[in-house]
C-alpha cells in the first residue's frame, strides 16, 4: 500500500459499490479497460493504456489487474492488491498480427472458472477495440459478453472525503496555472511559449503538492480560433484586439479541477461585454440551482433562462462530473448538465460547470469546478475572480 493513493478501506468501499451494481445487472464478472476505472478500483497508474490491459472483478476476492508483463511490474508498484492478483502477458502478444492479448485474457478468465460466465465489458470505451471484443468472443464461446459501459463510472459520481481532498489540491494548482496564463498573456508573446509556462507551473505544483499531467492539454485559442471549443496552440504571437480563452486544469494524483477564464488584449467590443454580463448572471443562477435534491437539468435551465432574457441562444451540454481521469478526457462520462438530463444531485458530486459561449467571431469561456454540498448552493473549488479579464 506504500504507493497506492488511498488506504484499503477506500478501495474496499469502491469495490463493494461496484459489486452491488454488478449484482443488479446480473453479472458474474466485469472486465474494465477504462484507465480511470482501473485506477479507481486498483490504484494502477502508468502510461500503458496504448496496449491492452484491464481489471477483472468478480463477486469475491480482490480485483485482478491484467496487462503487459512490463506493466505488471508497474502494477506491483501502484496497486493495492496482493501481487498474485497482478498479472502480465508476454511481449510477443504486443501489436502482433498472429496472436492477440485477448487470447491470454481468455485463459486467465477460464482458469478462474469464468468460461461460462456472464461478463460485462466496456463496449463504448476508447480502450476496448472491436478486434479485442471479437477475439474475446471467439476464445470464450460459452461466455455471455454484455455491455457494461458506465457501470463503474456511475459508482464514481459521489466523491469520498478523501477524493474531495485531492480535488482541492488540484484546485490550488489550477489557480496557479490560470494566474500564470493571465499574467503572461500579452501582445507579441508566442502561444507555445505561453503554454510552456502554463505546463511548467502545472507540473511544479503548489508547495508539497506536485503536479501530475492533466487528461487534456492546455486549450488556448485566440481570435477566430476561439470560436471553436477544443483547439490547442501554435507558434503565432498573441495579438491586440483578440480574446483568448484558457481551458486548463491542475492535476494531483490523477484528480482534476478544470477552470476556464478569458482575457482580451485591448478594448473588448460592446457585444462581448454584454455577453459577459449575461454569462456571469447565468452562472450565478446555475450555481443557485446546483443544490442537493435538484437535478442537473435545473442547473442548465437556470443558465439558459438568463441567456434567453439577454437575447443569447445557448443550447447543448454545459458541464459534466469530474475527478480521477486519464487522457483524452477529464470528464467521467455519466451525468451531464443539460436540459434533458434529470440526474438528481447528491452531496459529494463534483461537476465542471462550463457554460461557455462560442460566437461567430470570438469565444468566451468562464467556468467553475463545483461541489454539491449537504445544504445550500454548490461551492466552487477555485478562487479566481469570475470575469472577462482585460489587458491593454
DSSP 265-293: ES---HHHHHHHHHHHHHHHHHHHH--TT
Residues 299 and 266: their CA atoms lie apart, in Å, by 33
- What pLDDT does residue 392 have? 83
Under the banding of pLDDT at 50, 70 and 90, the label for residue 263 is very high
Give per-residue pLDDT as tens, 126-166.
999 999 999 999 999 999 999 999 999 999 999 999 999 99
The DSSP string of 115-163 is TTSEEEE-SSSTTS-HHHHHHHHHH-TTSEEEE-TTHHHHHTSBPPHHH
pLDDT band at 302 (very low <50, low <70, confident <90, very high): very high
Q: What percent of the chain has pLDDT over 90?
A: 98
CATH no., domain 161-391: 3.90.230.10
What is the rounded average pLDDT for all residues in the chain?
Answer: 97
Q: pLDDT at residue 291 above 90? A: yes
What pLDDT does residue 1 have?
A: 58
Q: Are 270 and 388 in contact (CB under 8 A)?
A: no
Provide CATH 3.90.230.10 ranges for the chain. Answer: 161-391
- E strand or H helix at 174: helix 161-184
Which segments of the chain are extended strands (E)?
29-32, 54-58, 64-68, 86-89, 118-121, 144-147, 242-252, 255-265, 319-321, 350-353, 357-358, 363-364, 368-371, 379-380, 388-391
pLDDT of residue 315: 87
Q: Is the pLDDT of residue 354 over 70?
A: yes
Fold of 8-155: Creatine Amidinohydrolase; Chain A, domain 1 (3.40.350)
* Contact by Cβ (8 Å): 356, 229: yes
- What percent of the chain stands above pLDDT 70? 99
Alpha-carbon span 162 to 284, nearest angstrom: 28
Mean pLDDT to the nearest integer, 73-102: 97
Specify the domain boundaries for CATH 3.40.350.10 within the chain: 8-155
Instruction: Flag whether pLDDT at 3 surpasses 90.
Output: no
Amino acid at each position: 500500500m506504500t504507493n497506492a493513493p488511498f488506504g484499503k478501506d477506500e478501495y474496499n468501499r469502491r469495490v463493494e459499490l461496484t459489486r452491488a451494481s454488478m449484482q443488479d445487472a446480473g453479472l458474474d464478472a466485469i472486465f474494465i479497460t477504462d484507465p480511470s476505472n482501473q485506477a479507481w478500483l486498483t490504484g494502477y497508474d502508468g502510461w500503458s493504456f496504448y496496449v491492452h490491459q484491464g481489471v477483472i472483478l468478480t463477486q469475491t476476492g480482490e480485483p485482478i489487474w491484467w496487462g503487459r508483463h512490463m506493466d505488471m511490474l508497474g502494477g506491483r508498484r501502484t496497486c493495492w492488491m496482493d501481487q498474485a492478483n497482478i498479472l502480465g502477458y508476454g511481449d510477443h502478444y504486443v501489436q502482433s498480427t498472429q496472436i492477440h492479448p485477448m487470447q491470454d485474457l481468455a485463459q486467465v478468465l477460464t482458469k478462474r472458472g469464468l468460461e461460462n460466465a456472464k461478463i460485462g465489458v466496456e463496449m463504448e470505451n476508447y480502450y476496448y477495440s472491436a478486434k479485442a471484443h471479437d477475439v474475446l468472443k471467439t476464445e470464450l464461446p460459452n461466455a455471455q459478453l454484455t455491455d457494461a459501459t458506465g457501470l463503474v463510472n456511475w459508482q464514481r459520481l459521489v466523491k469520498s472525503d478523501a477524493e474531495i481532498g485531492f480535488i482541492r489540491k488540484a484546485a490550488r494548482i489550477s489557480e496557479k496555472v490560470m494566474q500564470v496564463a493571465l499574467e503572461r498573456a500579452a501582445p507579441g508573446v508566442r502561444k507555445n511559449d505561453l503554454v510552456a509556462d502554463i505546463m511548467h507551473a502545472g507540473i511544479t505544483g503548489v508547495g508539497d503538492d506536485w503536479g501530475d499531467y492533466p487528461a487534456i492539454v492546455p486549450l488556448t485559442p485566440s481570435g477566430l480560433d476561439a470560436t471553436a471549443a477544443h483547439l490547442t496552440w501554435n507558434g503565432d504571437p498573441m495579438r491586440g484586439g483578440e480574446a483568448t480563452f484558457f481551458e486548463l486544469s491542475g492535476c494531483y494524483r490523477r484528480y482534476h479541477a478544470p477552470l476556464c477564464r478569458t482575457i482580451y488584449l485591448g478594448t473588448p467590443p460592446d457585444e462581448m461585454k454584454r455577453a459577459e454580463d449575461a454569462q456571469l448572471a447565468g452562472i450565478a443562477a446555475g450555481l443557485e440551482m446546483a443544490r442537493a435534491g435538484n437535478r442537473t437539468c435545473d442547473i442548465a435551465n437556470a443558465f439558459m433562462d438568463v441567456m434567453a432574457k439577454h437575447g443569447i441562444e445557448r443550447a447543448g451540454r454545459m458541464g459534466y462530473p469530474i475527478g480521477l481521469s486519464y487522457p483524452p478526457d477529464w470528464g467521467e462520462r455519466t451525468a451531464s448538465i443539460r436540459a434533458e438530463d434529470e440526474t438528481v444531485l447528491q452531496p459529494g458530486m463534483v461537476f465542471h460547470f462550463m457554460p461557455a459561449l462560442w460566437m461567430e467571431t470570438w469565444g468566451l469561456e468562464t467556468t467553475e469546478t463545483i461541489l454539491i454540498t449537504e445544504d445550500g448552493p454548490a461551492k466552487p473549488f477555485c478562487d479566481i475572480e469570475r470575469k472577462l479579464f482585460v489587458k491593454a
